[in-house]
Amino acid sequence: MARPSWRERIAAARDARDLASRRRVRRAVSHRDGVGCELDGRRLLNFCGNDYLGLSQHFAVVGALQDAAAREGAGGLGSHLVCGHHALHDALEKELADWLGAPRALLFGSGYLANLAVIQGLLDADDICVQDRLNHASLLDAARLAGCRLRRYPHNDPEGAIRQLRSLPDCSAILATDGVFSMDGDLAPLRELAVVARVQKALLYVDDAHGIGVVGPDGRGTAAAARLGVSEVQLQLATLGKALGGYGAAVVGDADLIEHLAETARPYLYTTALPPAQAAATLAAVKLARSEHWRRDKLVELVAHFRQRAQAAGLVLLPSDTPIQPVLVGDDARALSMAASLEQSGYWVAAIRPPTVAAGRARLRVTLSALHTVADVDGLVEALQRARDRAEAEARVADIKNWKPA
């Protein structure tokens, strides 16, 4: 029997994505300037990035990057345990731990690697990882690659979490959740989950990629907002490429757990360290995030203004008080149509479709930055109204064309 053709298999999968309006296309940005960017020769206002505090191009952050690169070079040279661990990495880890109120922090090349490290480093085939159904893909992949038993509970349902933990009571367990859910923008019920974890003797791990810098006192994230410390949330993920405007991630928490990961986690041991210059840039960004509270205050004002204007315009929003403000559309093709209309009006907003979200839950994922203005938000809402009206008109025309008498 002949093996199936890879080319035919790939072509069939691509055709299926086209038919379902789920084709994904990369876009090349030729220049960025704050919340403005140049795309295919046109200037657009960016409402789909994660630079929540507007720090990615801050002069102090860029200056720290340039100065360190001039002294230390462009690369990390080796893994942390060989020759790659630099004094700038050490300083950044200490600053992050101090900011987030934890004994230790450990740097990683990305949040994806960090999640792999935590789950693979702490669980094996006999153990269980219980996760929210809307967790980030990296947490789900981490559990699958660890070989442990993965159980998922309904979104933000602590009772569902405890039922899953009770199903396997005689093994080590991690209860893992996003802090801020990346596609919905809502917060996990961490106080209730902390009780569940304590009662079930599970380790509580919070992926706070979209919470650090934005949520909680001094931007210390969702655990701090829930008034939880390391004794309740033993480990949390702080991504460095969103509110902090750089690249990489850190796992922050219990000293013994962090030391175990530093000595055993494969995604830490077998990869090159972040460039020291990148660590210097993030160190500058953390200091700004800790001290410039006006950035979070500005975000709170913009979120409230957007929600008020969008709801008045009849747009369907999800319940979120974070800079992630999804506009629910439902149909995949309609989401693409609205995104294209917005781009023609000068706004870049991502159309999010399955499998990133559930079928029938396609949306426009609006994200806000402290660099946006009230006028920017007003213009976006007006453009969203026009895009919705145009998409609805197109749908009515299509229904008429496809109508057949019974």
Give the tens place of pLDDT for each residue, 266-297: 999 999 999 999 999 999 999 999 999 999 99
Average pLDDT over residues 309-327: 96
Strand 324-330 versus strand 347-348 pairing type: unpaired
Query: Cβ(24)–Cβ(354) under 8 Å?
Result: no
pLDDT at 3: 86
Q: What residues form the annotated binding site?
A: 24, 111-112, 136, 182, 210, 239, 356
Strand partners, 176: 131, 205
Q: How far apart are CA 210 and CA 193, in angstroms?
A: 18
Among 245, 192, 190, smallest CA distance to 214 is for 245
Candidate list 80, 85, 210, 298, residue with the active-site label: 210
Q: Please say if 94 is a catalytic residue.
A: no
231 is catalytic: no
Q: Does the active-site annotation cover 182? A: yes
- Residues 20-34 have pLDDT tens digits of 888 888 888 899 999
Degrees, nearest 5: CA angle 32-313-309: 60
| Catalytic pick among 110, 182, 341, 369 | 182
List the binding residues for substrate. 24, 136, 356
pTM > 0.95: no
Q: Residues forming the annotated binding site for pyridoxal 5'-phosphate?
A: 111-112, 182, 210, 239
User: Is the model's pLDDT at 392 over the cut of 90?
Assistant: no
**Residue 246 CA from chain centroid, whole number:** 13
Asked if the model's pLDDT at residue 216 lies above 90, the reply is yes
pLDDT at 2 over 90: no
Domains of the chain: 25-53+293-402 (3.90.1150.10), 59-291 (3.40.640.10)
Q: For 43-78, how does the pLDDT look when each residue is reduced to its tens digit (9 = 90+)?
A: 999 999 999 999 999 999 999 999 999 999 999 889
Q: Which of 242, 298, 320, 372 is catalytic?
A: 242
Question: Beta strand 235-239 with 249-253: parallel, antiparallel or unpaired?
Answer: antiparallel
Q: Given this model, what pLDDT does residue 25 score?
A: 85
Report the alpha-carbon angle 368-384-300, nearest 5. 25
Q: What is the pLDDT of residue 218?
A: 96
